[in-house]
Amino acid sequence: MGVLIAAAILVLIVEKYLPLIQQNERMRREIDRLDAEQKKQEQISRELRNEIDALRNDPETVTRLVREKLGYARTNETVLHFESTNADAVR
């Protein structure tokens, strides 16, 4: 008889705490996902800070970007632009 009472109490405890355990597991997975997202965003932030620093302090970076993005050239230089065809763009 004592075994049945102990088993009944155990079943009641499991029924009461199982939803909490499942919720805890869901929250743990969400925390892990958010931690990974935070690390990814911190990496992006570092890269952007480095890029901003280079644009502020490195004239060669500014020169390179102006030449690449705007197609500027120095005197006696020729700028060549290569464009892809539609078939190349699909691949």
Q: What distance in Å separates the CA atoms of residue 73 and residue 70, rounded to the nearest whole number?
A: 9
The amino acid that residue 13 corresponds to is I
User: Rounded CA gap, 15 and 38, in Å?
Assistant: 35
10-21 mean pLDDT:
88
**Is residue 19's pLDDT more than 80?**
yes
CA distance 76 to 53: 31
Q: Give 90's pLDDT tier (boundaries 50, 70, 90).
A: low
Q: What is the pLDDT of residues 29-81, one digit of tens each?
A: 999 999 999 999 999 999 999 999 999 999 999 998 988 888 888 888 887 77
pTM of the model: 0.59
Distances (CA, A) of 25 to 29, 30, 38: 6, 9, 20
pLDDT at res. 39: 98
Side-chain-facing half-sphere of 13: CA atoms under 13 Å: 6
Domain boundaries, the chain: 2-90
